[in-house]
Amino acid sequence: MLRLIAIVAVSSLLAAQEVQPAAAKLDFQKQIAPILLERCVECHGPKVQKGDLRLDAREHLFAGDQEEWNVLPGKPDDSELLRRIGLPVGDDDIMPEKGEPLRKDQQALIRQWIAEGAEWPVAVDKWFATAIAAKVIPKITFELPKVDAEEQAAIDAAVAELKKRGAVVQQVAADTPAIDVNLSLLRDKVTDADLALLVPLQKRLVWLNVSRTAISDDGRQHLQKLTQLRRLHAANTQLGDATFTALVALQHLEYVNAYATGLGDDGLAKLAELPKAARIYAWQSKVTPAAARTVRAAKPALALDLGDYVEERLAAAQKEIAERAERNKPVNDTCPVADKPIDPNQTVEHDGRRIAFCCGKCKAAFEKEPAKFLAKLPPKK
């Protein structure tokens, strides 16, 4: 009986040992490919290949001279791709080149994937192709009111006049008559009176950018009439709550950028009440933290951006830089090969620690046979 138990115990131990690494191995398509799709393929995909790199198909990543591969299967620490995503915020080489850095857990997954051999099943190439195709053609459809011939003529005339004045006027997408007007490039040449030109477009105008223009609250009588508007960029303008409270007429409004405007607590409350309101940027406006808290509590689905994350990120970045500096400091003062004082420029990374030597020769000696010198180093913490 005892023997039987012992055999069962041993065999289940063996089974556990065999099964575990396989079970922990990650799923490239489910865990890695979505990160590449969301954060990299825009610049490293079928359309654009920044740095001559594509991250949507196996054969592109593992092509040519192996020395040049950005991912070296089994060698995360020698893989340029992993180095790039782990750089500190603000580093010129950090990837993705724009937006937030990859989260720590995403970086860890990519490290694990490379360490496990960077498998890329052929089927995933197809998954990428399908996913990219779905992303490239976002279906932007708008339910817009009908326009009769007379109204269409007025729209065409207004578009021509706006373009003549240097505004950017375009269709939002190929399959919709919805119009996007950008006046922000004209800066202070745009005043309240010019907003009257937008009124004939009211059944078609869905996106409007008036950022940095010289418009004021006196122009609100025109803005109020743009009842099909979905997005309004009004950053860096003098607009205040007289305008923002008047926007209640814009029942389709989803997005308002009121960065550095006079948006106050009343205006915010009104905008937040709009049935479609999804995102409001109110950084450097007059909105008080108390009003922001009230709105956030009442409308959890609304993304209200007060820029309060900026300081958090700065602190996190500073901490990361300090940690990196600490990690890059050699653990020893004396060369483990020659017992002489170290030269801080002669270092190698070994087993997660930076080790310094007195000269390049000693460094080479160590790299050849580290075990021989380990006893001379301070004990690992």
**Interface residue list for ligand HEC (CB under 6 A):** 39-40, 42-44, 50-51, 53, 70, 80-81, 84-85, 93, 95-98, 102
- Return the number of the residue (44 or 222) whose C-beta is nearest ligand HEC: 44
Q: Which sign does the torsion angle of CA 145, 148, 154, 156 carry?
A: positive
Find where tokens 């003549």 sit: 164
Q: What is the dihedral of CA 316, 321, 327, 329, to 10 degrees?
A: -150
**What is the residue type of 210?**
V
**Phi and psi, residue 284, nearest 5°:** 55, 35
> At its nearest, how many Å lie between ligand HEC and the CB of residue 233?
21
Query: In the bound complex, what is the minimum distance in angstroms from residue 101's beta carbon to ligand HEC?
Result: 9
The amino acid at 261: T
State the nearest-atom distance from the C-beta of 285 to ligand HEC, in Å. Answer: 29
Radius of gyration of the chain (CA): 30
Closer to ligand HEC by Cβ: residue 94 or 140: 94
Rounded to the nearest whole angstrom, what is the least distance from the CB of residue 17 to ligand HEC in the complex? 34
Q: Which C-beta is closer to ligand HEC: that of 64 or that of 138?
A: 64
State in angstroms the smallest separation of the CB of 279 from ligand HEC. 22
Which of 80, 254 has the CB closer to ligand HEC? 80
Which one, 44 or 204, has the nearer CB to ligand HEC? Answer: 44
Beta carbons of 217 and 191 less than 8 angstroms apart = no
Bond preceding residue 46 cis, omega within 30 of 0: no
Q: Residue 95: is it exposed, middle or buried by C-beta count within 10 angstroms (0-12/13-18/19+)?
A: buried
Least distance (Å) between residue 83 CB and ligand HEC: 8
Q: Which is nearer to ligand HEC, 106 or 152 (CB)?
A: 106
Could you tell me which of 255, 183, 270, 262 has the C-alpha nearest to residue 217? 262
For residues 190 and 281, give the distance between their C-alpha atoms in angstroms, rounded to a whole number. Answer: 22
For residue 378, which of 343, 350, 358, 359 has the smallest C-alpha distance?
Answer: 350
Instruction: Output 109 or 317, the one with its CB closest to ligand HEC.
Output: 109
Nearer to ligand HEC, 85 or 167 (CB): 85
CB of 43 to ligand HEC, least distance (A): 3
Residue showing tokens 């020395």: 67
- Asked whether the beta carbons of 255 and 271 are under 8 A apart, the reply is no
Nearer to ligand HEC, 55 or 167 (CB): 55
Dihedral angle, C-alpha 187, 188, 192, 195, nearest 10 °: -30
**Residue 105 Cβ, how far from ligand HEC at the closest point, in Å?**
14
Distance, in Å, from the CA atom of 219 to the CA atom of 256, rounded to the nearest integer, reads 17
| Nearest-approach distance from CB 100 to ligand HEC, in angstroms | 10
